[in-house]
């Protein structure tokens, strides 16, 4: 499955999201359990990273294909699946805008947790997710919410303030956290509005270290933050960006321990029932 060239691939291959995903494993497994993955299900995890939701789904007995734009994350996912002996879980490079190697009506469940929301052309993304889901199946997305006061939405907001303006025609990934935008995209793909449900959910980032240690890891390995610091260093504002993020991470930590970080990040859970 070949990926179409775009800046999204460069963004996610620039860092190493596996280092961030390590702090998200418990929430990924809890989400998979909550959405009702059953043995024998055929599951597509789109924008899967190294398998934060794909691997728990496979461990619950599903047959899982993970697709991601970033080659390093695909390799990491296949390595994790092999090390766990999960023969019914594989990872391939692909682009959420064009899943041409996948046939119509192929999956009982399509999952995309903080993945497909970053792909360009959201209308095509919605159409492709609907196309590859069998009638009676479901699509479940987890998308960060614009303007939300919790961690990731605020990281992206702060980072954007220190980054160059986006190119003409750019559609913000955060628009996938807007109920009206999401409903419009899926209804345009043929889904009745009554078949689209929304609820607020949350991931908890767990790090055995201080919030400043967590921030240092994000600065080194999280693509959007890496790009923001590169731009801020050019403009002489890196210290200002660092200070804003330190304040954010310190204020959001609820662990009560100096050497432990627990930070909640709200997201919009979208459930689409395909007729």
10-residue mean pLDDT series, the chain (275 residues) = 67 91 96 96 97 98 97 97 98 96 98 96 97 98 98 96 90 97 98 98 96 96 95 97 98 93 98 98
CATH topology of domain 7-273: Rossmann fold (3.40.50)
Whole-number pLDDT of residue 1: 55
Tokens 């890196």, residue located: 238
254 contacts: CB under 8 Å, gap ≥ 6? 262, 263, 264
Q: Note the pTM of the prediction, 2 decimals.
A: 0.95
Sign of CA dihedral 257, 258, 260, 266: positive
CA–CA distance, 12 with 178 (Å, rounded to integer) = 23
Domain ranges of the chain: 7-273
Q: Please name the residues in contact with 165: beta carbons below 8 A apart, sequence gap of 6 or more.
A: none
**What value, to the nearest 5°, has the Cα angle with vertex 44 and ends 40 and 46?**
160
Residue 101's pLDDT is: 95
Looking at residue 150, what is its pLDDT? 98
- Identify whether the C-beta of residue 189 lies closer than 8 Å to the C-beta of residue 133: no
Asked whether 50 and 76 are in contact (CB, 8 A), the reply is yes
């Amino acid at each position: 499955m070949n990926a179409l060239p775009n800046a999204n691939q460069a963004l996610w291959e620039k860092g190493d999201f596996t280092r961030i995903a390590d702090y998200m494993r418990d929430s990924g497994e809890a989400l998979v359990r909550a959405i009702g993955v059953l043995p024998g299900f055929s599951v597509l995890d789109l924008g899967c990273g190294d398998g934060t939701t794909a691997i728990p789904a496979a461990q619950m007995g599903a047959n899982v294909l993970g697709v991601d734009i970033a080659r390093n994350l695909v390799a990491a996912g296949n390595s994790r699946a092999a090390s766990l002996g999960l023969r019914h879980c594989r990872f391939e490079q692909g682009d959420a805008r064009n899943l041409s190697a996948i046939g119509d009506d192929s999956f009982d469940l399509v999952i995309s947790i903080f993945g497909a929301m970053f792909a360009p052309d959201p209308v095509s993304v919605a159409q492709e997710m609907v196309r590859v889901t069998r009638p009676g199946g479901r699509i479940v997305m987890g998308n960060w919410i614009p303007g939300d006061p919790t961690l990731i939405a605020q990281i992206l907001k702060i980072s954007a303030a220190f980054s160059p303006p986006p190119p003409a025609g750019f559609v913000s990934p955060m628009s996938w956290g807007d109920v009206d935008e999401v409903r419009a995209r899926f209804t345009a793909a043929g889904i009745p509005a009554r078949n689209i449900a929304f609820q607020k959910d949350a991931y908890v980032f767990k790090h055995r270290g201080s919030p400043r240690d967590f921030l240092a890891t994000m600065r080194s390995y999280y693509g959007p933050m890496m790009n923001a610091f590169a731009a801020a260093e050019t403009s002489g504002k890196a210290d200002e960006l660092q200070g804003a993020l330190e304040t954010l991470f310190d204020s959001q930590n609820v662990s009560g321990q100096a050497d432990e970080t627990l930070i909640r990040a709200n997201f919009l859970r979208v459930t689409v029932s395909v007729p």
